[in-house]
């Protein structure tokens, strides 16, 4: 898995990239009560705010980690936002995207670097 500074994880699945948030992010957010996902088919640029997460405490945005196109979203998460706290790195993935260039992932953190970042 690869990680962004915004506490997203990315997993390559065939020629798609699956994106979610880390355990650390889920703990920091607290109980998630609302998730808004982008429409499949949306073209996104790195840094675009494409997911809204509301916890009992506050609203946060999740940015597109890379340039590409959203090919699938996990509607289970929108229906049952608590999944983000229960299984953030498994069942509660947010979206799958097709990226123009998979080598762009090489610039992201690996697990050791991410763990160092969160201390």
Partner 1 sequence: MTDLKRTVLFDLHGELGGKIVPFAGYEMPVQYPMGVMKEHLFTRAHAGLFDVSHMGQILMTAKSGRVEDAALALERLVPVDILGLKEGRQRYALFTNDNGGIQDDLMVANRGDHLFLVVNAACKDADFAHLKAHLGADCDIGMVEDRALVALQGPEAETALARLVPDVVEMAFMDVAIRHWDSAELWISRSGYTGEDGFEISVPNKFAESFVRRLLDMEEVAPIGLGARDSLRLEAGMCLYGHDIDEGTSPVEGNLTWAIQKARRDGGAREGGFPGAGRILKELAEGPSRRRVGLRPEGRAPMREGTEVFAGPEGGDPIGKITSGGFGPSIEAPMAMAYLPADLAEGTTVYGEVRGKRLPAVIAPMPFQPNRYKR
- Positions touching partner 1 (CB under 8 A) are 30-31, 33-34, 36, 52, 54, 56-59, 81, 85
| DSSP per-residue codes, 37-62 | -PPTT-EE-TT-EEEEEEESS-EEEE
Among 78, 88, 60, smallest CA distance to 3 is for 88
CB of 57 to partner 1, least distance (A): 7
Q: Cβ closer to partner 1: 34 or 111?
A: 34
The phi and psi torsions of 73 (rounded to 5 degrees) equal -125, 155
Count other C-beta atoms under 10 Å from residue 41's C-beta.
Answer: 9
Q: Cβ closer to partner 1: 10 or 29?
A: 29
CB of 75 to partner 1, least distance (A): 13
CB of 59 to partner 1, least distance (A): 7
Q: Cβ closer to partner 1: 78 or 104?
A: 78
């Amino acid at each position: 898995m690869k990680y962004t500074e915004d506490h997203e994880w990315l997993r390559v699945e065939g020629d798609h990239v699956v994106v979610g948030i880390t355990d650390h992010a889920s703990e920091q957010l607290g109980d998630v009560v609302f998730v808004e996902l982008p429409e499949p088919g949306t073209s996104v640029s790195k840094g675009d705010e494409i997911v809204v997460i509301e916890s009992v405490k506050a609203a946060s945005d999740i940015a597109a980690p890379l340039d590409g196109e959203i090919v699938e979203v996990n509607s289970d998460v929108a229906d049952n936002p608590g999944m983000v706290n229960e299984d953030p790195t498994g069942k509660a993935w947010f979206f799958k995207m097709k990226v123009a260039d998979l080598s762009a992932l090489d610039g992201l953190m690996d697990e050791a670097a991410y763990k160092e970042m969160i201390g």
